[in-house]
Amino acid sequence: MKKISYFIFALCVLLTSCDEIFNDEDQPKDNPQEAEKLIGLWRGEDAVGMIHLYNFRPDRSATYCVYTHVMGNIASVNTTLYSSWTATSDMLYIEGDAVLYNRNGKLVGVDGSQFKEFELSRIYNPSTGKGTRKIPELTGKVWTGYYYDKIVQLEFRADGTMTRTTSPNAGWEGTVQVKEYTWKIADGAIKMSDGTTDAWGVGLVISRYSYEPNFIFAEFGDACCALSDYEED
């Protein structure tokens, strides 16, 4: 399975309203009240059909992935991990770089090719435990995703149990780890537990065509990523 990895973040040089914010002498000052409004999983689709997925964690780390559901271009999705994010009343910063506009608690991005704005919507809010998107059929499939040095595979069973298999990603060393979970769907989200820690997941894209894979997103704390049910022939 071929991996897709895209990088954005040249937003401010594209928008004149960001000129002052990007002054190296002006470091952004975090506004905890604004940041609290933005915690969660955000999804947006830009003008060329790319899906941008940001997971802003309560501990102020963040993850980002991007993928497309255009026919013939879907493959596995890499997830990029960031150590910090901050927010002001105007912008959201990842590791000090302005990445998204913050407009009254709504996030807006700019695509890197046509320079057009696109809105993002929060599809999971950890403070309420609620998701907003339809979850595809989970059982009878192997869901595969990539998180830094890990390959994560999930197998959901109809009896309410799930196996999570974590393997070293290509070029990395390590051992295969297998953990068992219970799972259920509630409040528009996948609720998972290994008996000690809880995890969550949501649906991302429901295929419009039978030959397109479905996607979900799962957050386990030590790993989180978008996962596809795609199977290579």
Residue with the bigger pLDDT between 75 and 232: it is: 232
Report the C-alpha gap between 60 and 102 in whole angstroms: 16
Are 141 and 76 in contact, with CB atoms under 8 Å apart? Answer: no
Beta bridge partners of 167: 151
What is the pTM assigned to this prediction? 0.83
**What is d(CA 136, CA 3) in angstroms, rounded to the nearest whole number?**
22
Round the average pLDDT of the chain to a whole number and report it.
84
228 closest CA partner among 81, 82, 68, 120: 68
Measured distance CA(74)–CA(66) in Å, rounded: 11
Contact 142, 219 (CB under 8 A): no
pLDDT of residue 162 exceeding 80, the answer is: yes
Q: What is the pLDDT of residue 48?
A: 83
pLDDT in tens, 54-109: 999 999 999 998 887 655 455 557 789 999 999 999 999 999 999 999 999 999 99
110-131: pLDDT as tens digits: 988 888 999 999 999 999 999 9
CB neighbours of 197 closer than 8 A, spacing ≥ 6? 220, 221
